Amino acid sequence: MSDVNNNKSASDDVKIQQAIKNYLLKHPSYFSENPDLVTALEVVTTEGKLTDLTTHQMRALKQENGKLKTQISQLIKNAKLSESMMDRLFKMLTELSVAPKGNYLSVFADLVEVHFPVEYFKLLVTKEDENSPDHKDIEILTTTQMTQFSVFQAKSEPLSGRLKQEKIMSIFTGVEDIKSAIVFPIGTAAEFGLLAFASRDEEKFHPNSSSDLLQKLSQILATYFSHQKLQNETQGSVVMKK
């Protein structure tokens, strides 16, 4: 019987507390109309200390201001970083525009290393560009790699974060210190290949990080390959007519 009464009492207390809370929310001017309560009421802080309501409000506002300053500082930092990356992308596009016609992919890979340096980078193409010389970061996409990243047959968003070891090893063979990576499909359903970046820092390419600018690099390549494909088809058509 005692337990029943205790439970009922606890339930009544919760209801009363909720009713008080609802009343104060509906009447925000209550304490200004009853100023004597502001100094009479005591609040227990997270450290277990008693304080009056006014002091508690001031401390709460100070903490909120601190959080807002941190958020604003982070926004400014991100904006500066985005501006810097946009500048680098513009410079890269400018240099690519004057790249020798038969050396585009090698120049692209060299410029990525200059403007978007990272520990590991790889460009995997579905077929060899006959005019492009050998480059340490450019390889032909293998059947194993296509299988590991078959998800791109159905989605165009990049894969990023702490990818499965077999996926990473399929691209960066023999490298064992990779903690995070991001892989982009080049063209629809990775028609032209894959563009991959990897780092020893596990936070470098976490799933929630912005990848818009790096994704533009894969779009640049997709445009290049689409143009090459159209040229080849046009030339083939001309030959057939002859």
- Domain contains 42: yes
Angle between the 212-241 and 53-96 helix axes, to the nearest 10 degrees?
30
CB 195 within 8 A of CB 217: yes
pLDDT band for position 133 (50/70/90)? low
- Identify whether residues 170 and 231 lie together within a single domain: yes
Cα gap 2→143, rounded to integer Å: 73
Q: State which residues form the domain around 129.
A: 99-241
pTM of the model: 0.64
Radius of gyration of the chain (CA): 30
Residue 35 sits at φ, ψ, to 5 deg, of -60, -25
pLDDT of residue 60: 65
Q: Which residue has the higher pLDDT, 51 or 169?
A: 169
pLDDT per position as a tens digit, 159-216: 999 999 999 999 999 999 999 999 999 999 999 999 999 999 988 888 776 678 888 9
- Identify whether residues 111 and 62 lie together within a single domain: no
Query: What's the length of the chain?
Result: 242
pLDDT of residue 43: 61
Cα distances from 44 to residues 21, 39, 49, 55, 78, in angstroms, run 17, 14, 5, 11, 38
Answer yes or no: is pLDDT of 240 > 60. no
Encoded tokens for 69: 């300053």
What secondary structure letter does DSSP report for 34? S
pLDDT band for position 124 (50/70/90)? very high
- Domain contains 79: no
- Domain contains 77: no
